[in-house]
Structure 1
């Protein structure tokens, strides 16, 4: 049977995971708006009521995917760093899972929200335009694989910082412990206990 300590540990794990995932997820819509406002314009030609790329081999659609990948990469790195700064020893697994799940959800939300900006006007223009008319498209992803550019960098940044930065154990603030030099009255004294019958220097009393 799991004792109170085990239940508290499991509860802390779930709370850390859920809160981390939720916070990261909530940043997705903001990134989606930023993406939609900064993508290069892509022109479509209306042919029999259907929008077709005016330049199928152009750099526009590729630029849209690349812009999303770049923004998601930066967002993922920032989330990883923020997660590391907010976390502590004992929270690593929960934080990593939260960054992975939240980063994936945030990337999907960013894509969906960004795609909806200006979508109604684009669809209306397509429906009312005559053949040969050109309309400007909206942000959309052709390479769905760029969605991983958020969760993977977030997890990688957290893991790298965990390897490079040495965290203090819980409750340790760097105070000198037993046997370490300490400053008393301007002189250094060894606080290690002296052997029985001798002083700290090993001399007979």
Structure 2
């Protein structure tokens, strides 16, 4: 497929895939930084050893921190890497990829050490303690990633002037922006003549 539509689809697909894959890294990071939560095995079932403890809240909080930073980072990088012709495709890619990444981060982080945890619960004696794995109780947090990615992109689009493709921010000879601001463009004058091209 060629033309603008084909380019937009490629941009959407690449953005979605790249952002989604970041969810794996986010999940691995989450599993490494979650606080340790201890469970007591009662009648073969794991129960929180300290129901009033901050461990479960800390798990949710650290997951939220990761997806918030990831969402803002993805939105900012997509804005810097994109062009004006790619806005819609990038936004759709950030939304789809961000949602998939948030879900993937949750599942990947939860799976790390899960087999060992389940084995420990099955083989534990009555009243024995086991350390849990990363668990997300407030599952709605996964939506923070796409919301903040799209929101960051939108805010930058509204308040930051993006240079056109190929423009490095250095106005060329006789550009309209120079004339409109009342600036004198000496480069526009032919060598050895004035602006009316009359010899001195």
Normalised by the size of structure 2, how large is the TM-score? 0.86
User: What pairs with 1:32-71 in structure 2 (closer than 5 Å)?
Assistant: 32-71=27-66
User: Does 2:87 match 1:83?
Assistant: no
Structure 1 residues 37 and 188: CA distance shift in structure 2, 3 A: farther
> What CA distance in whole angstroms lies between the structure 1 residues aligned with 2:147 and 2:57?
21
| 4+ residue segments displaced more than 4 Å | 170-173, 177-180, 184-190
Corresponding residue to 1:164 among 159, 163, 178: 159
Instruction: Please tell me whether residue 98 in structure 1 is matched to residue 93 in structure 2.
Output: yes
| Structure 1 segment 49-198 matched on structure 2, within 5 A | 49-170=44-165, 172=167, 174-177=171-174, 180=179, 181-183=185-187, 184=189, 190=195
In the TM superposition, residue 92 of structure 1 has moved relative to its aligned partner by: 0.7
- Secondary structure of 2:46's counterpart equals strand
Which deviates further from its counterpart, 148-157 or 15-24?
Answer: 148-157
Between the aligned partners of 1:115 and 1:155, the Cα distance in structure 2 is: 26
Structure 1 residue 20 and structure 2 residue 15: aligned? yes
2:182 match: none
Gapped regions of structure 1 (runs ≥ 5): 191-198
**Root mean square deviation of aligned Cα:** 2.3
Q: Are the equivalent residues in 1 in contact too, given 2:190–2:197 (CA < 8 A)?
A: no
The whole-number CA distance in structure 2 between the counterparts of 1:123 and 1:138 is: 10
Q: Which has the higher helix share?
A: 2
Q: What CA distance in whole angstroms lies between the structure 2 residues aligned with 1:140 and 1:9?
A: 43
SS at match of 1:58: coil
Cα separation, partners in 2 of 1:121 and 1:8, compared to 1, 3 Å = same
